[in-house]
């Protein structure tokens, strides 16, 4: 049953991504992506989750959407020094937004313990990313940033009433 559900979700994600209605389409791009100098970061075609994110974002508290608006353009940027620079510059805003998310109560019908654990993981992941950024640790940056991304999706899973898989 799990395999069928995973395939169904994957098919929906691919269809949504193909429709061009991804959540990232309304997100602000980092300054480097606005430069118009050919260095603009783009989301690779092999990241079909954007359309699914858009659908899932419609039902989340505004604090979560605000966090997403900072995370998304940086996560979907091409990996490299500019992505690290842009993301590290946004860590103070991510920290503030993650703290705001952690202060929200569990959505109606959702397990408060699961929601609380998911918000704590997001806050902890952002704090860990700050450590990598402060140390200018290029090798540690991507795993730390991936943890933030997983933490965000874990939060969305807690909102939807199930735990996201890592």
pLDDT digits (tens, 9 = 90+) for 69-102: 999 999 999 999 999 999 999 999 999 999 999 9
> Mean per-residue pLDDT for 33-45?
39
Yes or no: say if 85 and 112 are a contact pair by the CB < 8 Å rule.
Answer: no
Q: How confident is the model at residue 108 (pLDDT cuts 50, 70, 90)?
A: confident
> What is the rounded distance in angstroms from the CA atom of residue 106 to the CA atom of residue 116?
7
Q: How confident is the model at residue 158 (pLDDT cuts 50, 70, 90)?
A: low
The pLDDT of 142-164, averaged and rounded, is: 79
144 near 125, Cβ under 8 Å? yes
Q: Look at residue 81 in the predicted model and tell me its pLDDT.
A: 97
Model confidence at 56, in pLDDT bands (50, 70, 90)?
low
Q: Domain map of the chain by residue range?
A: 1-29+47-58, 61-166
Spatial contact of 76 and 67, defined as CB atoms under 8 Å apart: no
The CATH class that applies to domain 61-166 reads mainly alpha
Where do we find the tokens 């799990």? 2
Q: Is the pTM of this model over 0.85?
A: no
How distant is the alpha carbon of residue 123 from its chain centre? 13
Distance CA 166, CA 163 (A): 9
What was the pLDDT predicted at 58? 58
pLDDT tier at 160, thresholds 50, 70, 90: low
Mean pLDDT value across residues 152-163: 67
Tell me which DSSP letter residue 116 carries.
Answer: H
């Amino acid at each position: 049953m799990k395999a069928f559900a995973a395939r169904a979700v994957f098919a929906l994600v691919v269809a949504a991504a193909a429709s061009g209605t991804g959540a990232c389409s309304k997100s602000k791009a980092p300054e480097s992506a606005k430069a118009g100098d050919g260095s603009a970061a783009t989301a690779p075609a092999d990241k079909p989750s954007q359309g699914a994110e858009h659908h899932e974002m419609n039902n989340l508290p505004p604090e979560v959407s605000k966090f997403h608006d900072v995370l998304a353009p940086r996560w979907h940027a091409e990996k490299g020094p500019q992505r690290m620079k842009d993301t590290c510059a946004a860590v103070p805003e991510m920290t503030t937004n993650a703290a705001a998310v952690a202060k929200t109560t569990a959505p109606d019908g959702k397990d408060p313990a699961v929601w609380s654990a998911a918000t704590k993981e997001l806050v902890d992941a952002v704090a860990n990313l700050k450590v990598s950024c402060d140390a200018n640790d290029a090798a540690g940056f991507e795993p730390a940033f991936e943890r933030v991304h997983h933490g965000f999706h874990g939060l969305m899973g807690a909102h939807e009433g199930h735990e996201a898989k890592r």
